């Protein structure tokens, strides 16, 4: 990030997994990091990790399913750092089951968290980007938002909605040097996939042309690029990081 002052980055769902990896990578690239999540204990551990490496970081409480919490978090981040220039909408949940068995609140909870939350936080942060006439919004969607997935109608719909939101915001904000892009991970090695048997992992890997699951570090690298000065002419794009699992 070649700029005279460090960029201010807000990363949601930053307490673990992909969100943590993104926060660490942006910090290495010189950004000052606002970490946001519900789990304050884990968030403090990530903050300590970044600070120990010489980074500037501060944790903030955020329940992405709550409009009041979103507004309070954005206000607190701006009060502390003065602005938000990079927003990574990573926080999300799953409530998997077949559509015929899916309860209404499981549908609502996933759409509210994964899609509405990203919209509301983008809305709350974009005023400082507009004033600065520079900004990067990166939404973490999913390969299933492009392909669909049995048992994940709510999750796939929320992630497909993020792609539509990305394109719409990109059109609205482009004239102010604010880009809006998405990263769509495929199968990523996480704590959830670690519980799978070797046979299950092998079966899933067989569906991926590169023959393996991706890593959270690889997702973070894609986000860091889209958040950089080098990606200034890229907006409204969904970057697939899936090992060839889906080629749209």
Catalytic residue positions, numbered: 155
- Token pair of 149, please? 């997935």
Contact 137, 162 (CB under 8 A): no
- Whole-angstrom CA distances from 185 to 18, 181, 243 are 10, 13, 9
Q: Which two tokens stand for residue 63?
A: 């329940």
Is-contact 69 117, C-beta < 8 A? no
Cβ neighbours for 243, distance < 8 A, ≥ 6 positions apart: 186, 187, 208, 209, 210, 211, 212, 213, 214
Hey, which residues does 58 pair with through a beta bridge? 34
C-beta separation of 91 from 69 below 8 A? no
Residue spans of beta strands (DSSP E) within 38-85: 57-61
Provide the total of helices (H) and of strands (E) in the chain, helices listed first: 10, 7
Q: Which two tokens stand for residue 76?
A: 């607190």
Q: CA–CA separation, 208 vs 191, rounded Å?
A: 19
Query: Which residue matches tokens 């492009």?
Result: 146
Widest Cα–Cα separation across the chain: 55
Cβ neighbours of residue 165 closer than 8 Å, sequence gap 6 or more:
115, 118, 119, 122, 139
């Amino acid at each position: 990030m070649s700029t005279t002052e460090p960029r201010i980055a807000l990363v949601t769902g930053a307490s673990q997994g992909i969100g943590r990896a993104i926060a660490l990578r942006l910090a290495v690239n010189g950004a000052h990091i606002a970490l946001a999540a519900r789990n304050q204990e884990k968030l403090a551990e990530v903050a300590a990790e970044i600070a120990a490496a010489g980074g500037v970081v501060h944790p903030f409480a955020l329940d992405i399913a709550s409009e009041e919490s979103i507004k309070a978090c954005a206000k607190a981040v701006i009060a502390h750092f003065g602005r938000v220039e990079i927003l990574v909408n990573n926080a999300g949940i799953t409530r998997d089951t077949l559509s015929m068995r899916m309860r209404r609140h499981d549908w609502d909870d996933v759409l509210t968290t994964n899609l509405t939350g990203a919209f509301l936080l983008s809305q709350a942060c974009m005023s400082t980007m507009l004033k600065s006439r520079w900004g990067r919004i990166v939404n973490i969607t999913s390969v299933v938002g492009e392909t669909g997935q049995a048992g994940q109608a709510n999750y796939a719909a929320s992630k497909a909605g993020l792609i539509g939101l990305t394109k719409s915001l990109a059109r609205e904000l482009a004239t102010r040097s604010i880009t809006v892009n998405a990263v769509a991970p495929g199968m990523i090695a996480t704590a959830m996939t670690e519980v799978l048997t070797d046979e299950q992992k092998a079966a899933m890997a067989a569906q991926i042309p590169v023959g393996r699951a991706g890593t959270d570090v690889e997702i973070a690298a894609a986000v860091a690029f889209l958040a950089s000065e080098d990606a200034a002419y890229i907006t409204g794009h969904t970057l697939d990081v899936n090992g060839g699992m889906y080629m749209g």
